[in-house]
Amino acid sequence: MQRTYLDWNATAPLLPAAREAVVAALDMVGNPSSVHGEGRALRMLVEAARRDVAALVGAAPAHVIFTSGATEAANLVLTADYRMGRTPLAVGHLYVSQIEHPAVREGGRFARENVTAVPVTRAGLVDAGILETLLQGHDKASGLPMVAVMLANNETGIVQPVKAVAEIVRRHGGLLVVDAVQAVGRMPVDIGALDADFLILSSHKLGGPKGAGALVSRGEVLMPAPLVRGGGQEKGHRSGTENPAALAGFAAAARAASAGMAERNARIAGLRDALEAGMRAAAGDVLIHGADVERIANTSFFSLPGLKSETGQIAFDLEGIALSAGSACSSGKVGQSHVLAAMGFDTALGGLRVSLGPGSGEGDVERFLATFARVVSRRRMAETAA
């Protein structure tokens, strides 16, 4: 059976260039912290990767901290323990949007009582008015406020008003953490233009290997206390021997994401629009979440009355189509979407997410729509029989 992969938001297939970079790095001997020739060669590879990842988000290479992935980066940055140079600086409370990925929504190293959820509107956008009110009531004596808002939602693809959020955060002297995992490569991302203090990135969402990510900071003065302590790698921010092979693949994926981004995303947006038009033609009651607001080009998150997300995911998989019932972040669990709940929708049915990528084509859309039509037909037959 021919398989059709429509789950790029969960992970992108490994790019050939990334695979080549990984294999080449695996053939290199040494430790990037060693001072001999072999170690220096690997150090050069790691630093070249740092430059490529920094360029992807308009940052200085010195401001990139490599981690094992986005979850570790989130747990590194989400902490009450900061330093301004060598001076301790307290962060008193975390304000996190209700639609964040669990890696951020769980609050990292903050105590549970020091984490407040920020609601979103019915359209799936962070409610700026409520955020303003929350920060006005922030207890300044406890330390600085921190706000965490993702740039593009992993389930709906909805682009959040990060620049407007940043203006609110600055008025109240806070810190802004932005999860840019789903956004990079799918829209221009610049840490300075966003006015963010920190960005969270992931390699495998770009077509790099799994097990590599980064925390990108706007400067080097205000930094979180280390999460992983030891030999002092990554300037002491994240100890442990770097993984040159994974970072070489991450860098290759970052370079590919930067090249031809506008043209690539325009083509993918055309595929997504054709897919959604086909769904509407087959089922007039299909609900496409976020269709009326800005989204990244590759994502369509929909609900079909009478079709539970678990049933739909299985039905598509049996016909050779890989898609997801929301976020692929809960060890294979299929449950209610916290994003739909935050938007005020009935989560009993849930939703299905189609996410496209550079390797997607018209044939993928056609196969999806043919299966979708059969799913809709079976739903109608079940309704008639009932």
Say whether 329 is catalytic. yes
Structure tokens at 189: 């991302």
**H or E element: which one contains 222?**
strand 222-224
Structure tokens at 169: 């955060």
CA distance 126 to 339: 11
Give the amino acid at 131. L
Residue from 117, 329, 334, 373 carrying the catalytic annotation: 329
Structural contact between residues 102 and 327, judged by C-beta atoms closer than 8 angstroms: yes
Give the amino acid at 29. V
Name residue, tokens 């092979």: 245
CA distance 71 to 69: 6
At 228, give phi and psi (nearest 5°).
-110, 115
CA distance 229 to 76: 11
CA distance 63 to 77: 13
In the beta sheet, which residues pair with residue 64?
Answer: 216
Name residue, tokens 């260039």: 17
Q: Tell me the catalytic residues.
A: 329
